Amino acid sequence: MVGIIMGSDSDLPVMEQAEAVLKEFGVPYELDVMSAHRSPDRVREWVSTARDRGLKVIIAGAGMSAHLAGVVAAHTTLPVIGVPLASGALNGVDALYSTVNMPPGVPVATVAVDGARNAGILAVQILATSDASLAAKLEDFKKKMAAKVEERSKKHRRSTL
């Protein structure tokens, strides 16, 4: 239901954080490597058949002059989440600007540099708008996060009053 793609296998260690979220929530996914610059025909083919393969959300990660998410968004009406990656001399600022600054009409929901985990969570949240069981899992996820913060608070809170 979610397609995860990235511009290079060097992006894999970060993009696997999105995959981990989908595994955690039991969401079926595809993961593949393809490049808007180095293999543009393959990108077009992959995205133009995405809806027919059952995909509902696409997560696209790329570094440097990152055009993968934008090109994918140009070819589909599925929601596209872009993950700018911190590769190259500019450490992800280039990829952030390339991914986030889309022209009106072709949105890419861009997460933070290397924010693949949040991309995975956002994809689950999109799917959960029409899936009550996923929505319940997300409620549970949020409760666990709050409980972890509470634990840290108990461990570290102090006062000299």
Which residues of this protein are in contact with ligand RP5, per CB under 6 A?
Answer: 6-8, 10-11, 35, 62-64, 85, 87
**Nearer to ligand RP5 by C-beta: 111 or 134?**
111
Closest CA to 37 of 3, 63, 57, 75: 63
Close Cβ partners of 144 (under 8 Å, ≥ 6 residues apart): none
Name which of 10 and 125 has its Cβ closer to ligand RP5: 10
Phi, psi for residue 128 in degrees, rounded to 5: -70, -15
Measured from the CB atom, the residue of 3 and 7 that comes closer to ligand RP5 is 7
Write down the least CB distance from residue 94 to ligand RP5, Å.
Answer: 10
CB nearer to ligand RP5: pick between 89 and 132: 89
Instruction: Say which amino acid occupies 148.
Output: K
Taking the complex as a whole, the smallest distance from the CB of residue 46 to ligand RP5 amounts, in Å, to 15
Q: What is the DSSP code string of 90-113?
A: TTTHHHHHHHH-PPTTS--EE--T
